[in-house]
Structures are given as C-alpha cells and as structure tokens.
Amino acid sequence: MRILLAEDDPLLGDGLRAGLRQLGFLVDWVRDGDAAERELCAQSYAAAVLDLGLPLKDGMEVLASIRQAGVTLPVLVLTARDAVPDRIRGLDVGADDYVVKPVDLNELAARLRALVRRAHGQPQECLSVQDVALDPAARSVTQAGVPVTLSAREFDLLHALMLNAGRVLSREQLEQHLYSWGQEVESNAIEVHVHHLRRKLGTALIQTVRGVGYTLARDLPKPR
Amino acid sequence: MKMPRSLQGRLLRLVLGLVVGVWLVTAALTWIDARHELDELLDSHLAQAAALLVVQQAVEIDDDRRGADAPTLHRYAPKVAFQVFHEGRLAQRSSNAPAEPMLEFTGHAADGFKTISIGETAWRVFAAHGRERDVQVFVGEQMESRDSILWAVLRSSLGPMLLALPLLALAAWWAVHQGVAPLRLVGRALAQRSPQALQPIAVEGAPSEMTPMLDALNGLFERIAQLLESERRFTADAAHELRTPIAAIRAQAQVALGAAADAERLHALQATLQGCDRATRLVEQLLTLSRLEAGAEHVLVAIDLTALARQVVADAAPLALSKQQTIEVNAVNPCTVRGDATLLSVMIRNLVDNAIRYGPSGATVKLAVSNAQGVVKLILEDSGPGMSSDDMERLGRRFFRVVGSGQEGSGLGWSITRRIAAVHRAVVRVARSESLGGLSVEVSFPA
C-alpha cells in the first residue's frame, strides 16, 4: 500500500517512514505543503499522513485545496494541535482521521488500513474474493484456508487488485501501487508479478483485459 | 504574634474616648465654675450672718447670758458655728463652736475670710468686729458642707451622662458597624473568590474613600490575570512544541524495535538519541525563557562585552568551519556594559548560532562590538539568505520559525534574545545587512 507522508520535522519524518515501511507500507515523504499538494494531485496514493504545521503551505490549506480539486483519497491528519476546535476544523475541512502526536506506529498503520478499507467500501479488515482471503494487517494470504506464501510485491499487487475487485486497473496504476520514489520499475515488472501470482493462486483469479490492464472478478461462476 | 487591629474597634475607641474626654473636661469646668459661684454665695452668707451678729451685739449685750450657747435650730446647724466676743471675752457662741476664738485676735485688721482647721475638720471662718463697742464676731462653716453641695451639683448634671455612656457606646458601635459595612462586603467577596476569579470587584455604594483601594486591587487583579494568561499560553505552547520531538523519539524507538537489519536498527537508535538531545535543548530553552519571563531580579555588573563576544565566537567557530563559513570578530577593547554575563553569553550565542545554522556553506558571519560615546553596540551580520520583512516583523514571537529554512529549531531563540535584551534595556534592531547582503542584527546598550 503506497502512502504519502507530509511531515517537515526531519527526525519524525524519518522515523515514520522507516516504521511504516516495516509494517508493509510504501512511503513517499514530502517536507512542505506545496510538495504535498502537488504529489497528492498528481499521483494515486492509497492514503496520506498529513502534518498540519507544514512550511510554505499549512496542512489545513493543503487539505482544503486537494478536496476542492476532487482528490478523494483518505487523509489522516497527524499533528501536535490537540485542541478540540482544531480537531473539529480538521475533520470538517476534509480529514478522514485526526491523530495527535505522539502516536504508536502500529496504531497509525491500523488506522491507515482502516481508512483504505473503508474508502473501498470494505467493512472487514480481511479482504476476500472468491476463495482467496487477504489479511492486510498480518500481510498473509490464504486460498481455501491454505496459507499461500507471497513476496512483498506480489502481496501488494494482490492487495491492490482485491481492493478494487470488479474494476480494471491499468499497468501504470498498479505500478503506482507497488513502487515508491527512487525504486526502479522494470518495464515488464507487473507482468512478471501477475505471472507469479497466477502460478501460486491459479490462472482463473486474475483476468487480463487486453490493452487496458488487469482485473479480479468478485465472483466467478464455478465450472461444473 | 500581634493580633490584627480591627478598624471597627479603633473607630469605636476613638469615638468613645473623645466623648468621655469631652465629658470629663465639661465636668472639670462645671466643678470649677460651681465651686467659685458656691464660694461667693456662701461667703456672702457668712459675711451677712457675721454682720447681723455684730449689729445685734451692738444693740443688746446681755451680760447675764455671757458665754451661753445658742440653741441648735436646724439639723444643718452643727455645720455652722459662731462666736461672739465682747471686750476680749466670749459673749456668745453656738453649741458646736469652741471656747477659744476661731481666729486670733489681731485687732481691727482681723476682718475677712480664712480657712482653718479645728481638730480634723476644715472650717471657713469669717471674722467681723463692731466699731462702737469692742465686739468681735467669728462665723464659721464646715468646708465639708460645701463639698457635698458641689458633689450634688456634679451628680445631678453628670449622672445622666454616666448612665447614657453605655447606650452611647452601643449606638456608636452600631454606627461604626454600619459605616464599615462596605469593607466587610469587599472582604467577604474576596474571601469567597476562587483563585481563578480575577474579574474586577464592584461594590454597590462603595464610599469614595474606598475607591483608591478598590482601583488598586482591580488593577492588581488585571495584572495577575495577564500574567496567568501568558503563563497558560506559554505552557500550552511549550507542551505543544514538545509533542513533535517526543513523537519522533517514539517513532524512532519503535523502528529500532521492529528493525530486521542491524544497520536500520543503528540508524533508528542514533535518531532516537538525536531526538532526546533536541527535546533536552528545547526544555532548556523553555526554562531559560520562563525564568526570564518570571521577571526575576538580575544583578547587573560591569562586563566586558568584547571579551564575551570573543569567547562565544571561539566556541561557535568549529560549527562555522565545518560549513566552510568565515567567521570574524571586529571589536574595540574594552566595551564595558552593565549586564549579566550568563544571559549576555546566551544572547550572543543565539545570534551567532542562528547566523551559522541558517547561513549556507561558504557564508560570512561578522560580529562587531563598538563603543561610541558610551553607547555600546553589538552588530552581527551575515551573508546568508536574510529574511523577508514580514518574517522580520514576526521574529521573536514564541515558536515562530522561518519556513523552508530546512533547519530544526524551536523558534524560542529569538524570544530569549529579545527578553535578555529587555533585561539590559538594550534595543534590538533587525535589518538587511548592507555590506554582506544577509541579515543584520544590532543590539545597542544604553549609555
């Protein structure tokens, strides 16, 4: 899951990026409000962690302007401003969650997962499509109750497809889900990962839409 | 411990004391006046009685009754005595008069009043003599009877006053009690206040005498409220400002715990330590500022600012050199100011550190100390990025930081610098440096 972290404090930003990476997130880190707004409008992230006291442009202004621009991704505001009026304003302007520093990294990760899940209309923590179940918190996958071992990229790809089950995702969209900044994307990387997933989970699960991308059908009529 | 004195008791004592004093003076004057009048009246009676006796003797001298006692006619008679001598011999006397003449015969000159004592008793005696026959008359009256009359007069005039005194005291107590009611009202209002209630006291119908006190009290409340508000804001700001370093420490520690690789763990642990150092520095700055803002008295002594500036620059030089910056001191020797050496060091260090930290690599920092007709100036210039005029204006507000500087800082350094300057009554001016193009900070000390 790829998220954007907007935090100007070098030490905290570094810690949050490292911690969220440990918990399976792909993290892009920006240090000012202008950059945060630019990236949120340009790229597709699963969610964003936004500090309010950002240089150049206050986090609240960033939030207001991306919402105005039609960006709907879940935004978690992480700030030192703990006053109730601040919280209310943050949520009203368009934050999906409001967390006061300091925060436990596991809690932050859980909140982010919950935000992403809800943004995709999933009520439960575990995603399940056909006979495949995926637990984002434990980063585990089972097929018909049997555990399946996936690499980090394969997991992220499957997670993205399952979150968007019934929708077609282009190769570029999938790449954005899988790679953060500075990570080399090989030209056929997605094809390779899809190939591996089909080998591990069966060929029927992921369908190719030629010239468009890949999709995962919610329910497939079982062959008789 | 001395008991606090009650205003009511004091007023009551004063009023009653004055009343009793006036009353005593009146009594004394009455006594003197009454005594004088009484003496005149009774003396004239004595003289008249003596004159009557002389005249009577001149008419009828009864040798047969010579030496006889006159009858006692009234119960007061024992208090009055007379003697009639004819040719040196006792002709007649009252029963209570002695046989001996009450006054010595002194011939014709013996007429007049005299106060004598016969036995234990004091007598007022009038002596008179007849002209034609050798008659000498003494009429005496016991002094005691005059005194009792005087006492009676005093009793009748002052007795009611004595009775009235307790009533008067009660009335005065009530009046004073009513008079000091606004004071009690204020006292009760103050006693019932919670420490947070700092709104002005308003007393209905407070007398004009209380206005200065109430005004002073309300002024004090206002100042305390301002102080509390600034304390509250400071605490809130400080807590708020400490959240980020603590969040960083927590995140880094958690990263270290969850790290799979040693290099990652090492990095996170080092970052944790950095975070602790930063939080410590922030706390130190907060403490310095809070001490400065508490308005404690600082002992200002003569200090050589040049020596201090050289010391601070020497300490900061390694940091500047590590950024390939040029740092220099242009100072005249010595520049004496009245100040607190520790505080001035903190101020100069803040200025120099800022210049070095916010200046790019290769920048120039110049510190000058000058003395012109007793006005000592400390000027710090740099060739750094400088500051917009908006930012210059906001500089020194607590926790204000120039955005995009890429430097971590609390924004407290400027508040501290300004406070220290204020303690020394020095003026801080921030402007664009003419010679180096960056920021110029001038601190001028009063002559």
**Best residue in A8, A9, A11 for a mutation probing chain B (most B CBs within 10 Å):** A11
**Best residue in B249, B250, B254 for a mutation probing chain A (most A CBs within 10 Å):** B254
User: Can you tell me the mean pLDDT for B256-276?
Assistant: 92
B364 in Cβ contact with B433 (< 8 Å): no
Q: How far apart are the CA of A31 and the nearest CA of chain B, in angstroms? A: 9
Residue of chain B whose alpha carbon sits nearest to that of A100: B243
The Cα angle at residue B388 between residues B382 and B392, in degrees rounded to 5: 80
**Cβ-based neighbour number of residue B203 at 10 Å:** 15
Closest Cβ opposite residue A55 in set B250, B252, B404 = B404
Closest Cβ opposite residue B404 in set A23, A32, A80 = A32
A positions 15-34 inside 8 Å of B (CB): 15-16, 18-19, 22-23, 32
pLDDT single digits (tens) A110-164: 999 999 988 888 777 788 888 899 998 888 999 988 999 999 889 999 998 988 8
pLDDT band at B74 (very low <50, low <70, confident <90, very high): low
pLDDT band at B437 (very low <50, low <70, confident <90, very high): confident
A202 lies within 8 A of chain B by CB: no
Chain A residues within 8 A of B385 when measuring between CB atoms: none
Amino acid letter, B406: G
**Best residue in B233, B235, B241, B243 for a mutation probing chain A (most A CBs within 10 Å):** B243
| Bigger pLDDT: B48 vs B71 | B48
Comparing CA positions, the residue from B129, B92, B95, B125 lying closest to residue B110 is B129
Comparing CA positions, the residue from A54, A200, A156 lying closest to residue B401 is A54
Closest Cβ opposite residue B268 in set A18, A56, A102 = A18
Give the whole-angstrom CA distance, residue A12 versus residue A24. 18
Comparing CA positions, the residue from B411, B404, B277 lying closest to residue A11 is B277
Residue of chain B whose alpha carbon sits nearest to that of A103: B247
What's this model's pTM, rounded to 2 decimal places? 0.59
Contact assignment for B404 to A12 by CB distance below 8 Å: no
B414 in Cβ contact with B400 (< 8 Å): yes
Query: How large a percentage of chain A has pLDDT more than 70?
Result: 97
Contact assignment for B254 to A15 by CB distance below 8 Å: yes
Give the whole-angstrom CA distance, residue A115 versus residue A111. 6
- Point out the least confidently predicted range of B139-148, B261-270, B425-434: B139-148
Q: How many CA atoms lie within 13 A of B160 on its CB side?
A: 3
Residue of chain B whose alpha carbon sits nearest to that of A55: B403
